[in-house]
Amino acid sequence: MRLSTKAQYAVRALVSLNLASGGNPVTIKDISEREKISLTYLEQLFVKLRRGQIVKSVRGPGGGYLLARAADQIRVDQIIDTVEEILVPVSCMNDDGSCGCDLECATHFVWQGLGNQIRTFLASMTLEDLTRDASRRLDQHFREQICI
């Protein structure tokens, strides 16, 4: 199963925003440059993220985006749901998780169970969890660069 680039980029962008913010607004341009994601694409994602109340915008000089609530209150599944359609593990499933075949196929319960496991896994992680992990990785990478 593959998540769309919308989901991947939204999660990456929000981790980047959370790492860089320090309580101050971060511009989409900064995130775009840091994450090497198209500025136009990020603008489209941030419209959805703002509507979904994941981020809030700050206008004017020094403006940009901030998280709309604490990172430990934003789950990964919420981010994905905000930027893309319903997450289903196979193409024959409908958005509500029902079977798209004329009759429910013999393996439907397997795919439905997989979808439930994926959703549970994504709901168990917060943006704070991902940010903490990214921060550790960046610190380790920085230390390795200094030692060389």
- pLDDT single digits (tens) 55-81: 999 998 889 999 999 999 999 999 999
Q: What is the pLDDT of residue 116?
A: 84
Q: Which residues of the chain have pLDDT under 50?
A: 143, 148
Residue identified by tokens 């992990």 is 133
**What is the rounded distance in angstroms from the CA atom of residue 69 to the CA atom of residue 83?**
17
Helices (H), 22-126: 28-35, 39-51, 76-83, 108-123
Q: What is the pTM of this model?
A: 0.84
φ, ψ at 42 (rounded to 5°)? -65, -40
Q: What is the pLDDT of residue 110?
A: 83
Domain that holds residue 130: 5-147
In this structure, what CATH number is given to the domain that contains residue 142?
1.10.10.10
Q: Report the domain count for the chain.
A: 1
